[in-house]
């Protein structure tokens, strides 16, 4: 065999073996984020425009949603400084339906496509309040069902609709696949985190940011429960 080809073959095999070993040395970060004290009742929202479309369902403010078991929804969880982490590349979708943003907190990778849908058949006006990424203020008429965009830097920022002042949401631009949000029960799971000790950050739009250290073993689950104090 040609010495160069032989060396390249060995390097390829070694790289493959290293990748398999790395994947084997990985666990999951799992947990529940809760709200201490009595769960506050969500405030109702008054629909002042386009009632035929926007008032079909009762609207509530989504800035503090707490489940029956005190699970806190829409908390952004991110494992910091994971070696080899790269931004997610899959498409993310933010829908406007019933004159609300769904999901309330949208995750999208740096450079990955974000599709913003208008399924209401009325005029919406998208307004972002970013600083690391260029902010935009764009009309989305009823005939423009899809608008596409990308973001080049990691950031968390607010998005609103200037045509319907109760519509509010958040966009999380992340440079790591080890980022997620809590569900309605406050639970989350991040899979395939390489073994090691990391800082896990928790962000909530109203309750702020917290962090704790978590050690991930070569397999299994590392618990990362957290409780926010009541306000």
Residue ranges with strand state E in 36-123: 76-79, 92-96, 101-102, 105-109, 114-118
Q: In percent, how much of the chain has pLDDT > 70?
A: 90
Q: pTM score, two decimals?
A: 0.88
Q: Identify whether the C-beta of residue 190 lies closer than 8 Å to the C-beta of residue 201.
A: no
Q: What's the rounded Cα separation, in Å, for the pair 141 and 118?
A: 8
User: Mean pLDDT of all residues in the chain?
Assistant: 90
Q: Which two tokens stand for residue 63?
A: 């800035």
Give yes or no for residue 7 having a pLDDT over 50: no
**Residue 103 preceded by cis peptide, ω within 30:** yes
Query: Could you report the per-residue pLDDT of 213-230, keeping only the tens digit for each?
Result: 999 999 999 999 999 999
Give, in words, the CATH class of 27-228: mainly beta
pLDDT tens digits, residue range 29-52? Answer: 999 999 998 888 889 999 999 999
Provide the sign of the torsion angle of the four alpha carbons 169, 171, 172, 177, taken in this order: positive
Residue pLDDT, tens place only, 131-164? 999 999 999 999 999 999 999 999 999 999 999 9
Compute the distance between CA of residue 30 and CA of residue 50 in angstroms, rounded to an integer.
42
The pLDDT-based confidence of 68 (bands split at 50, 70, 90) is confident
Give me the residue spans of the domains in the chain.
Answer: 27-228
């Amino acid at each position: 065999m040609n010495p160069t080809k032989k060396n390249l073959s060995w390097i390829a095999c070694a790289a493959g073996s290293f990748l398999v070993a790395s994947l084997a040395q990985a666990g999951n970060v799992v947990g529940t984020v809760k709200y201490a004290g009595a769960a506050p009742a969500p405030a109702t929202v008054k629909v002042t425009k386009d009632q035929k479309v926007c008032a079909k369902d009762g609207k509530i403010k989504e800035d503090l949603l707490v489940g029956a078991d005190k699970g806190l929804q829409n908390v952004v969880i991110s494992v910091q400084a994971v070696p080899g982490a790269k931004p997610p590349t899959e498409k993310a979708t933010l829908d406007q339906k019933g004159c609300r943003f769904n999901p309330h907190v949208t995750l999208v990778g740096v450079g990955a496509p974000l599709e913003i849908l208008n399924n209401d058949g009325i005029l919406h006006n998208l307004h972002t309040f970013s600083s690391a990424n260029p902010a935009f203020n764009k009309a989305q008429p009823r005939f423009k069902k899809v608008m596409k965009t990308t973001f080049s830097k990691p950031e968390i920022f607010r998005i609103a609709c200037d045509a319907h002042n109760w519509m509010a949401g958040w966009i999380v631009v992340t440079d790591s696949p080890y980022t997620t949000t809590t569900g309605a029960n406050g639970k989350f799971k991040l899979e395939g985190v390489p073994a090691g000790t990391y800082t896990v950050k928790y962000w909530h739009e109203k309750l702020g940011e917290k962090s704790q250290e978590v050690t991930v073993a070569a397999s299994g689950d590392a618990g990362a429960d957290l409780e926010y104090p009541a306000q």
